[in-house]
Amino acid sequence: MSERIVNRLTEGDEEFREKFRSWNLAHLSYVDIGEYLKTKDTVLVPIASTEQHGPHLPLFTDTITAVEISERISEEIGVLHTPPIWTGYSPQHMYGVGEGRGTITVRSSTLLALMNDIARSLIHHGFNRIIFINGHGSNIKVVDPVLRKLRYETGALISFVKPYMERYEGILKGLMENPPEETPGWHSSELETSQDLAWNENLVRMERAVDTRAHIPAFLPKAFSKDDGMPDAEFEGYQYFSFPMDHHEFVENGIIGNPMRATAEKGHEAFRRLSEHVARGILELQKVPVTVHNREFVDRVL
């Protein structure tokens, strides 16, 4: 569960929490939502996936990241968050028919429609600033059209935040012990394992963890190489080629990297750094004047 790490709540925010007892929109009644909207117009929407994360981590791993960071931000600066969009764009994680990997993926059109309808519902009710907190890398590949559509059609402030590490260390630089070749931020490696341990150690099966490296898919010539989960492949030392690869084509067990150095302490620190950084950004975004010119969600049936 979330811990309050940095308390930026005003007196009014403290009163709100005492009165309504939760920052989760779904825990509140419409009376509470109305009271919130008298003073604030920001809402977070955690979005991620339900997909295989190797033999030792739960399918909920990416959603854990989005939910935990959203909850911590809400506690830190007093903004509401919705329940998570728990499935995302994960076609590459399906693996073979009948293998039982468990991934639940949706088509890009389905995900965009879901994001649109959730945001339009929130804008309809009076929210002006919709902040998607994303925990799944492949969602990034498809979301631009809906983010632009929401902005162009309504005038609302729309943001899509990516608080995690894959190739880009960002604010987590220096936290992980794995060297770059052990891909600390990649799938089910040191970072994700640490975060899951921090969230609920009972969901992590470290006795099943395996140190694994990505490799080039069999359909590509050996002149190409690959060492992470991006669709890029390296050729002659450069990365200009990309391919629509499935996960099982470059790693068999779902792990990319070395999860053995993961600790709950690293997970808590990662959550702290990421949530505080995003919280500071959202505080700045609350200063931006926003005029919604199309609020009613008329096209809400078909």
- Residue 53 sits at φ, ψ, to 5 deg, of -130, 50
Of the candidates 68, 98, 59, the one whose C-alpha atom is nearest the C-alpha of residue 205 is: 59
Q: Is 101 helix (H, G, I), strand (E, B) or coil?
A: coil
Contact 32, 20 (CB under 8 A): yes
Over range 1-15, report the average pLDDT: 58
Supply the mean pLDDT for the chain: 94
Q: Residue 65 has which token pair?
A: 């990241």
Contacts for 225 with CB less than 8 Å, ≥ 6 apart: 216, 233, 234, 235
The answer to whether the Cα torsion of 88, 89, 95, 99 is positive or negative is positive
Domains of the chain listed by start with CATH number: 11-169+269-285 (3.40.50.10310)
Distance CA 48, CA 171 (A): 20
* Beta bridge partner(s), residue 133: 46, 161
Crossing angle of helices 61-77 and 264-285, rounded to 10°: 50
pTM for the model: 0.94
Q: For the segment 218-261, what is each residue's pLDDT rounded down to a tens digit?
A: 999 999 999 999 999 999 999 999 999 999 999 999 999 999 99
In 136-216, beta strands by DSSP E: 157-161
What is d(CA 239, CA 225) in angstroms, rounded to the nearest whole number?
10
1 — pLDDT class (breaks 50, 70, 90)? very low
- DSSP codes, 117-150: HHHHHHHHHT--EEEEEE--GGGGGT-HHHHHHH
The arithmetic mean of pLDDT across residues 186-193, rounded, is 98
